[in-house]
Each structure stands twice: as C-alpha cells, then as structure tokens.
Amino acid sequence: MGVTDDDAVIFVLFGATGDLAKRMVLPAFYQLAQHGLMPERWLLIGNGRGDVSHEDFRGRVHDALTEFGPKPEDGPWEEFSQRLRFAGGGFEKSDPGSLLDVIEEEKRDIGGEVRFLHYLAIPPSAFAKVTEGIGEHGLAEGARVVYEKPFGTSPSGFRELDRIVHSVLDEQQVFRIDHFLGKEGTQDLHALRFGNSMFERLWSAEHVRAVQIDVPETLDIDDRAQFYDATGALLDMIVTHLFQLAAEVAMEPPGSLSAADLQAARETVIAAFRPLDPAEVVLGQFEGYRDTEGVAPDSTTDTFVAARLWIDTPRWQGVPFLLRTGKQLHAGAQQISMVFREPSGPLADQLPPDGTVLTVSVSGSGAIHLRVVLKRPGPELVLTTGTALLPLEDVPDADPLPPYVRLIHDVVVGDRSLFTRPDGIAHAWDAISPVLDRRPEVKPYPRGSWGPDAAAELAAPDGWLLDKGLGPNGRD
C-alpha cells in the first residue's frame, strides 16, 4: 500500500476512552505486544473528546488491563506504556482537535516513513464525520481503517456510509471488523468441513434437518445503555454476528482459502438469504430494562431476538437456520449446532430423541462436540446417545488468540480473509429489511429466563438444544 514492512506504524484509536476500547481493543493491542506480533516501530495514539495527558492515558490503559486483562505485570508494560500517547478535543473535518499536532510531533521522533492504522471504536453515528476528517486532514493515503459494527444502522444509512467511506478510501483500505469471524471456533468450521470428507459429504439438506446458531447472554447492558437503546439486539447481533456465522456454515466450498475466495463464498451465500418473514421473528425486552439509566422510559428496544432464516441455495433448500440471541438470559453460550436427519432402516422405530448433533462452540478458545446414537451397554438392544468433546485448546501445540488480537494482527499484515465486504453487508440489510419495515411486537420476558415463550415455538419440533442442556455449553 505504498509503504514497506520496515516502516513505522502509528495506530490511531478513535474512541480510546470508551467502553469498547477498554474492554476489547486496548487489551488486544497489549496481547499483540505479549506475543511479539507488533511492528518493530510503532506508537498508539488514543483520541477522544476529553483533554487527557499522555501520562493520564497510560494510567487509564493500565486500569483497563487490570480490570479486563491481561494484567499489566504479565506482559511488557513498561515498554508498551512508553508507546502510548493521547490527542484530545475529538476529531472531525471541521476540527481535528490536537490529533494532527500530536502526530506531527511523533513523526519527527519516530523518523522514516509512517503508515497509519486507524481504528474507529466509536458509535456508528460518528463513522462518517471521522472518515471525512481522515480524508480532509491527509491521514488517508496508504492507511488501513478499521470500522466496528454495525456498519450503518439501516439500509439507507449503510448506503450513505458506504458512499462516504469510498469517497475517501479504496476498498482494500477498509476493514469492517466482526470479531465473531476471528474466533477460533468459527475458523475451525472450515477445517472441520473441508478437512474431513465424512463431514463435507453430510453438509447439506440431504442429511441436515436444522441448524441452530445460539448466542444467549447472561450479561446486562452495563454502561452501554445509550448505544444499546439506539441499536438493540436485532441490529447489534443478527445483521452482523449471527448472519456472518450462518454464512460460514452455508457457503459453497471456495476455490481456496485466500481472502478473495473466502470473501466471495461468504458474500455469495448471504445474497441467497431469503428476506426474514416478520411472522418468523420474535423480539423481546427483559423486565426492568427501562429502569436502566440512559434508557428511555417508553423504550421499545429489543434486547432479545429469535428468527428463522431460510437460505435459498440447492444445498440448503428447506433447512431452517434458527438464530437466537439476547441479554439477561438463563445461560451464556455461543454455539452452532447441526441437527442431522434420522436414518431409515431397521432401527428407525427405536431411535432416541435428540439424536445425532454436531455442535461447534465459538466461545473462548472453541470446542467441537459430537452427539451420536449408540447401543446402551447391556444384554438388550436399547439405543441411547453418547457424546465426544474436543476443546480446541487441548489440540497439541495450540496457541489460541482471542478474536480481536487475531483480527487486528490481520489488519497489520493486510489479510482481509476474515473481514466483510460491502456487497455482503448490503445483502444482509436486504434480508433484514422486512423486519425493520413491519417490526413485530416486542414481548417482555423475565430476567434469567430463555426469553419470550414464542421463541420456543419458533424452534419446534426440536426446541432449542441449549435449553435442554445439549451441546458443549450444556455439557450433556
């Protein structure tokens, strides 16, 4: 991109004092330093509206690492902290704050050619003005720019943001991050399917009856109330994370695992997502949500969503992809389950319920869980089920990286394999538009439950496997 690998890299973290930065992004940068994956010469400049000194910002980063890990004492804190700077006053086209002054000062000190990596850990509503500022103030040439999700908050908002982004940046400079694509379990879907012929041959409607993508959370919205009340579970999770996971499962085999081929396979299958039927979508809001500071007293924001997605390709015709996510639910998990069809033959009338299921957990370091039908040991032929669990962290020589660490490293080296393209995002907005236009009634549900009762009916006849304790998170 016009610079060499020996050039210095200046990371500019917009929104550096916000919740996302302290929980995810700053710890990821520190872990990159722990693993020796940072460029040889680098600086990280935090940007925000407040007037914070370099030393105070270092203190905030230290506090974030202490709270969310890794602990400062477990890594190269002294060296890392000396590479941290802060530029206050915000940043936009009309007013760059102090960022340009800090950059010029640091460029003199660091010497040589400099490559910029801008990370926008800010609300989606601020993406456009910061992007325009990057272009206006000469920070776009040769830069790579990371956008958090959601990329837009409506179909029209997406199109306008995409127009602005491409007026400043080439597509190869744009990295739309979806950290679910960086999870070890998600990436292992490719190896599991394409590296094992027994699974590849079963990976279709001929053998699979249903797919469940289940991401319930026990968490509250914490200090994200303002963002969350303007977004909700549908936009925060379905149009981003869960659609991407569905695409990872449903894609046709790519020509290779190159970035271009993987992205093409992923975006092509998203184009085959049938627009969601509002009658097959359940929205919910946990009781007490409106009492949260920062939430409107009459808010109808959804904190829960379950949906039935259909994918109109020959491989998946007629197979429901059941999606579920929400806050303040009974248990937390991130799992993809493929429910296999019952075989015909001499044992058909003796099969136990909840028979053959392959589940991939994408939480933490990931795990693969296989549930199969077998004979209960004993003198009579009685069928039951047994399970095998393979935590990916137990694989010999495993060195799993958290998703943000993996993805930021990919941005540094320019690998776009696990990042989304605008055509895929456009198709995702097309798929969800009917629900935005004819929004179902938001139903209340008790904290600690599995959400509105209607969501259980949506998953019939199998029901949600996790609710029955099935899968690696249920530990059946």
Tens digits of residue pLDDT in 377-396: 999 998 988 999 999 999 99
| Token couple for 299 | 């808010």
Average pLDDT over residues 257-267: 92
Q: 355 and 342 in contact (C-beta within 8 Å)?
A: yes
| Residue 254 clears pLDDT 90, i.e. is over it | yes
pLDDT of amino acid 333: 95
Average pLDDT over residues 222-232: 84
CA 125 to chain centre: 19
Within 274-409, strands assigned E span 281-286, 304-309, 321-326, 335-340, 357-361, 367-375, 383-391
Average pLDDT over residues 452-470: 91
- Least Cα distance to 336 among 364, 367, 372, 307 occurs for 367
**Per-residue pLDDT reduced to its tens digit, 64-112:** 999 999 999 999 999 999 999 999 999 999 999 999 999 999 998 887 7
pTM, two decimal places: 0.92
Q: How far is CA 342 from CA 209, 351, 452, in A?
A: 9, 8, 29
| Residue 2 clears pLDDT 80, i.e. is over it | no
Label residue 1 by pLDDT band (50, 70, 90).
very low
Q: What is the DSSP letter of 311?
A: B
**Peptide bond before residue 96 is cis, with ω within 30 degrees of 0:** no
**Taking the C-alpha atoms of 187, 192, 194 and 198 in order, what is their torsion angle to the nearest 10 degrees?**
-170
CA angle 290, 291, 294 (to 5 degrees): 80
**Per-residue pLDDT reduced to its tens digit, 408-418:** 999 999 999 99
| Residue 5 clears pLDDT 80, i.e. is over it | no
Label residue 4 by pLDDT band (50, 70, 90).
very low
Count other C-beta atoms under 10 Å from residue 392's C-beta: 19
User: Rounded distance, CA 291 to CA 299, Å?
Assistant: 10
- Catalytic one of 62, 118, 241, 427: 241
11 Cβ neighbours under 8 A, 6+ residues apart: 29, 42, 43, 44, 45, 117, 118, 119
| Residue 278 clears pLDDT 50, i.e. is over it | yes
| Residue 45 clears pLDDT 50, i.e. is over it | yes
pLDDT of amino acid 282: 98
User: Rounded distance, CA 308 to CA 316, Å?
Assistant: 13
User: Rounded distance, CA 365 to CA 171, Å?
Assistant: 31
| Residue 476 clears pLDDT 70, i.e. is over it | no
User: Rounded distance, CA 414 to CA 417, Å?
Assistant: 9
User: Rounded distance, CA 166 to CA 50, Å?
Assistant: 29
Query: Both ends of the chain: CA-CA distance in Å?
Result: 50
| Residue 474 clears pLDDT 70, i.e. is over it | no
Average pLDDT over residues 420-425: 94
**Taking the C-alpha atoms of 315, 319, 325 and 331 in order, what is their torsion angle to the nearest 10 degrees?**
-110
Phi, psi values for residue 247, rounded to 5°: -65, -35
- Give me the residue label for tokens 């370091």: 365
C-alpha atoms less than 13 angstroms from C-alpha of 457 in its C-beta half-sphere: 7
pLDDT of amino acid 475: 58
**Per-residue pLDDT reduced to its tens digit, 110-154:** 877 899 999 999 988 899 999 999 999 999 999 999 999 889 889
| Residue 258 clears pLDDT 60, i.e. is over it | yes
Bridge partners for 174 per DSSP:
145
| Token couple for 287 | 């009781």
Within 65-207, strands assigned E span 84-87, 114-120, 144-147, 174-176
> Which amino acid is located at 112 in the chain?
G
Q: How far is CA 394 from CA 277, 363, 390, in A?
A: 41, 15, 7
pLDDT of amino acid 62: 98
Average pLDDT over residues 440-461: 96
More confident residue, 76 or 222: 76
Average pLDDT over residues 188-212: 95
User: Rounded distance, CA 287 to CA 268, Å?
Assistant: 39
Label residue 227 by pLDDT band (50, 70, 90).
confident
Helix axes 422-437 and 259-270, enclosed angle (nearest 10): 20
Average pLDDT over residues 334-360: 91
Mean pLDDT across the chain, nearest whole number? 93
H helix count then E strand count, the chain: 16, 15
pLDDT of amino acid 3: 40
CA 155 to chain centre: 19
Label residue 347 by pLDDT band (50, 70, 90).
confident
The yes-or-no answer on residue 241 being catalytic is yes
Q: 324 and 215 in contact (C-beta within 8 Å)?
A: yes
Average pLDDT over residues 189-207: 95
Bridge partners for 309 per DSSP:
321
pLDDT of amino acid 6: 67
| Residue 158 clears pLDDT 90, i.e. is over it | yes
Average pLDDT over residues 259-266: 94
Average pLDDT over residues 190-200: 94
Average pLDDT over residues 321-330: 98
